[in-house]
Chains A and B, each alone.
Chain A
Amino acid sequence: MSDLETTERVLPSNAPGEDVAFEILGDGDFPTAEMSLSIGPAHPATHGVFRIVLDLDGERVRGARPVIGYMHRGFEKLAEYRDYRQIAALTNRHDWLSGFCNELGVAIAVESMLELEVPDRAQWIRMLMAEWNRILNHLMFIGSYALELGAITPMFYAFREREDIQHLMESATGGRLHFTYNQPGGVKIDLPKGFLKRSAEISKVTRERFDDYVDLVLGNEIFQGRTVGVGPLPQDVALSLGITGPTLHATGIAEDSRVTEPYLKYGDIDVEVPLGENGDAFDRFYVLLHRIRASLDIIDQIHDHMPAGPVNSKLPKMVKAPEGAIYVRTENPLGQLGYWLESDGGRTPWRFKMRTPSFSNVQAIPYLMQGALLPDAISILGSVFFVVGDIDR
């Protein structure tokens, strides 16, 4: 609320010599009213069925309460009724923009429990696909985040690249979104002829076009105005909330499971983790964008390493994980995905807990929005990068 007791005289600097002065009543604030604004569950800025209730004082956000669960499909329960090989079809649906990376976790978990040996070629193929999937995911968010801030063009550029990459992945897996290409022991089928050549071509083209995005979005003055200094996240809060992925890297913490706990063959290659400094919306987007370049670097290294050989190993007719629990963490495009797989020795898991990155990351929204302006709220909401299915599971 404005304090009307004080007054202030302001001389406009652009009219020198003229005797014009403005008198501002109060402390410069408008008298405001408090209100509660519900955004969603079906709102374009929330990309999915996600609702957020903002407590506003004028244009100032005093509190934000995300309401989730509109898309809860009970994957954890469904997994308890399915064979270990069938879970992959469930997991590539919770975060529909990174289906391949999701399947990876469950395949690794089952393999570790069964002590299955995965052929080298399968591991490299998995990495290649995971990185392409990561780029697919990030391109989507580059397009949609710019769209939320009023720029429609990057979306078209992003989808041009996405189409190429989806064609590439489709040629090997048969899927554009839900790949179901992993199976315990390797991948379903070998790469088709000419895949690596095409992959190298697309990698080259995407790298050339990468500068377009930097110029189009990062260099844009309006984009900078909407994001720089908006919604800063301190490191300790981020860690305490369990935030991972680009949102964590933007705060300057290089915690990436591909580096700190290498799975597959990530230990054999150089993985660059782009970092931000301030943890604000601009840094989050900067990190997301530069992760594309980092992934392209990884893809080029994979092309050099790809060995020949079998792509899967023979599974027993009945997959029964021995009694015990395993926790597998993989670096998903949006953050770290953790699967806790507890087996009682039966055909189906006893407990299959999905620790999804979006669920943890969205928890930061109330903190980030506290005290922000309403137009910045959209900028913050988009910059946390979440998929609603990944929150609700």
Chain B
Amino acid sequence: MSDVLARRDRALSPEETEELLRDRLGDGLQRTVLEYGVFTVWVEQDAWVQAATLCRDEPLLAYDMFDNLFGIDAREEGFDVVAVLYSTSTGNRIALRTRCAGGRDEPTCPSITDIYRGADWMERETWDMFGVDFPGHPQIGPRILTVENFEGWPLRKDFHLASRAAKPWPGVKEPAELDEDGNVIERVPHIGDAPGPYDLDKAMAEQAQAMNPRPELDGPEDDDDADDEPAEVEAGPDDDPTVSGAEKAEARRKAQAEARAKKAAERAGGDGDEGAAQLDQDVYDQLIAEGKSERIARSKAKAAYIKAQRAKEGDA
């Protein structure tokens, strides 16, 4: 490890590299850019192969590792090709960049496969994605990533993403989208979507409860609902050992719902009498006398009352 790092002392600075390249390439070198630690050298199309050769063979540069090669859409001016090279001895990296000849219609860029073996597939990919032809490449086709009969050049900007053309964004609004006044539209996450630590969970649950209160049960209406199937309630959740657990649970749930409905009805006021009126008082008294609980007695009395009502309707 130490021997690798020791050689770093000989590494040329970007300025020195530029000076060296300018000396060798002359007008072939257009300009250099150093941003975010990336040293980009723009070269003329004609000097592309020469620049790559120089980078590899010049002992002071010694860019021995081929890192990357790809295309970039350069709007109406056509396409750029970037080759990223790295030197394992100096630790320097350089990005050679050139604008393809031929504009947007027939972009071409000389191949550097003879200089760096790794450029082979990278150039095939660039051709596949941008339609940039690489004269001198041993075999640019068939298309490397897309299917053989694919039409179009997918990474060109005029090739639209089909899913986005059909539906702008799968959601309400795009993230950080602006409204007409230039304000950021914030997407409101719907409740229950945010996992997190316990405190946050609790806060979210409370917030959810506050925003979605349990719908208040409507007394008389709910009574009717419960009355539709009186037989099950009649069975009594705790009395009959033959009923299965599920049935018991069902009965208990119904009974509880009924009790809630009762309370709601009582709260509503005035409905209490009406509720009592719907009971078969004889059955109720008899059951209470037998020592059943008030709840069971009420439900059975109510069931008896409804039976009687239906029988009356049937007769009529």
Contact between A85 and B145, CB atoms less than 8 A apart: no
Contact between B65 and A255, CB atoms less than 8 A apart: yes
* Segment at the interface with A among B13-21, B115-123, B219-227: B115-123
CB distance from A325 to the nearest CB of B (A): 6
Contact between B88 and A239, CB atoms less than 8 A apart: yes
Q: How far is the CA of A26 from the CA of B196 in the complex (A)?
A: 75
Contact between B1 and A254, CB atoms less than 8 A apart: yes
Given contacts A242-B67, A318-B184, A326-B36, contact A81 B161 (CB under 8 A): yes
B residues in contact with A336, CB < 8 Å:
67
A residues in contact with B120, CB < 8 Å:
363
Q: Which of B4, B68, B144, B154 has a CB less than 8 Å from the CB of A68?
A: B144
Among B35, B67, B197, the one with the most A-chain Cβ atoms within 10 Å of its Cβ is B67
Contact between B195 and A174, CB atoms less than 8 A apart: yes
Contact between A340 and B82, CB atoms less than 8 A apart: yes
Q: Which of A72, A77, A318, A359 has a CB less than 8 Å from the CB of B161?
A: A77
CB distance from B39 to the nearest CB of A (A): 10
* Segment at the interface with B among A29-37, A41-49, A347-355: A347-355
Q: How far is the CA of A67 from the CA of B159 in the complex (A)?
A: 25
Contact between B93 and A327, CB atoms less than 8 A apart: yes
A residues in contact with B145, CB < 8 Å:
68-69, 72, 392-393
Contact between B66 and A325, CB atoms less than 8 A apart: no
A189 in the interface (beta carbon within 8 A): yes
Contact between A255 and B117, CB atoms less than 8 A apart: no
Main secondary structure of the interface of B (DSSP, over half): loop
B188 in the interface (beta carbon within 8 A): no
For the complex of A and B, the 3 pairs showing the least CB-CB separation, nearest first, are A242-B118, A326-B36, A318-B176
A residues in contact with B174, CB < 8 Å:
83
- Report A60-91 residues with CB < 8 Å from chain B CB: 68-69, 72, 74, 76-78, 80-81, 83, 85-86
Given contacts A72-B146, A77-B161, A338-B67, contact A255 B88 (CB under 8 A): yes
Given contacts A239-B64, A325-B35, contact A259 B1 (CB under 8 A): yes
Given contacts A68-B145, A317-B176, A355-B84, contact A81 B164 (CB under 8 A): yes
Contact between B72 and A342, CB atoms less than 8 A apart: yes
B residues in contact with A85, CB < 8 Å:
175
Contact between A254 and B155, CB atoms less than 8 A apart: no
B residues in contact with A253, CB < 8 Å:
88
CB distance from A86 to the nearest CB of B (A): 7
Residue-wise interface mask of B (26-47) relative to A, using a CB-CB cutoff of 8 A (1 in contact, 0 not): 0000000001111010000000
Contact between B118 and A353, CB atoms less than 8 A apart: no
A273 in the interface (beta carbon within 8 A): yes
Contact between A189 and B196, CB atoms less than 8 A apart: yes
Contact between B65 and A242, CB atoms less than 8 A apart: yes
Contact between A83 and B144, CB atoms less than 8 A apart: no
- Report B154-201 residues with CB < 8 Å from chain A CB: 154-155, 159, 161, 164, 174-176, 184, 186, 195-197
A277 in the interface (beta carbon within 8 A): no
Given contacts A241-B118, A317-B184, A353-B70, contact A78 B144 (CB under 8 A): no
A324 in the interface (beta carbon within 8 A): yes
B91 in the interface (beta carbon within 8 A): yes
CB distance from B74 to the nearest CB of A (A): 10
- Could you list 28 A-B pairs, sorted by A, with CB under 8 Å? A68-B144, A69-B143, A69-B144, A72-B146, A78-B161, A112-B37, A239-B66, A240-B118, A241-B66, A241-B116, A242-B65, A242-B67, A242-B118, A243-B118, A254-B1, A259-B1, A260-B5, A260-B91, A319-B176, A324-B35, A324-B36, A326-B37, A327-B95, A336-B67, A338-B84, A340-B82, A353-B70, A355-B67
A residues in contact with B176, CB < 8 Å:
83, 317-319, 347
B residues in contact with A77, CB < 8 Å:
154-155, 159, 161
Contact between B184 and A240, CB atoms less than 8 A apart: no
B129 in the interface (beta carbon within 8 A): yes
CB distance from A290 to the nearest CB of B (A): 14
B residues in contact with A338, CB < 8 Å:
67-68, 84
Q: How far is the CA of A81 from the CA of B143 in the complex (A)?
A: 24
Q: How far is the CA of A261 from the CA of B88 in the complex (A)?
A: 11
Contact between A260 and B67, CB atoms less than 8 A apart: no
Contact between B72 and A327, CB atoms less than 8 A apart: no
Contact between A76 and B155, CB atoms less than 8 A apart: yes
CB distance from A90 to the nearest CB of B (A): 13
Q: How far is the CA of A283 from the CA of B144 in the complex (A)?
A: 30
A113 in the interface (beta carbon within 8 A): yes
Contact between B65 and A239, CB atoms less than 8 A apart: yes
A180 in the interface (beta carbon within 8 A): no
Among A69, A174, A189, A192, the one with the most B-chain Cβ atoms within 10 Å of its Cβ is A69
**Which residue on A lies nearest to B161, using beta carbons?**
A81
B residues in contact with A360, CB < 8 Å:
118, 121
B residues in contact with A355, CB < 8 Å:
67-68, 70, 84
A152 in the interface (beta carbon within 8 A): no
Residue-wise interface mask of B (126-165) relative to A, using a CB-CB cutoff of 8 A (1 in contact, 0 not): 0001000000000000011111000000110001010010
Contact between B4 and A254, CB atoms less than 8 A apart: yes
A269 in the interface (beta carbon within 8 A): no
Contact between A325 and B38, CB atoms less than 8 A apart: yes
A residues in contact with B72, CB < 8 Å:
342, 350-351, 353
Q: How far is the CA of A256 from the CA of B263 in the complex (A)?
A: 73
Contact between B68 and A340, CB atoms less than 8 A apart: yes
A237 in the interface (beta carbon within 8 A): yes
B residues in contact with A260, CB < 8 Å:
4-5, 88, 91
B271 in the interface (beta carbon within 8 A): no
B residues in contact with A243, CB < 8 Å:
118
CB distance from A224 to the nearest CB of B (A): 27
Residue-wise interface mask of A (246-267) relative to B, using a CB-CB cutoff of 8 A (1 in contact, 0 not): 0000000111000111000000
Contact between A325 and B64, CB atoms less than 8 A apart: no
A residues in contact with B234, CB < 8 Å:
none
Contact between B65 and A340, CB atoms less than 8 A apart: no
**Which residue on B lies nearest to A259, using beta carbons?**
B1
Q: How far is the CA of A327 from the CA of B65 in the complex (A)?
A: 16
Q: How far is the CA of A95 from the CA of B82 in the complex (A)?
A: 24
Residue-wise interface mask of A (314-337) relative to B, using a CB-CB cutoff of 8 A (1 in contact, 0 not): 000111000011110100000010
Given contacts A69-B144, A69-B147, A255-B88, contact A240 B66 (CB under 8 A): yes
Q: How far is the CA of A69 from the CA of B176 in the complex (A)?
A: 34
B residues in contact with A363, CB < 8 Å:
117-118, 120-121
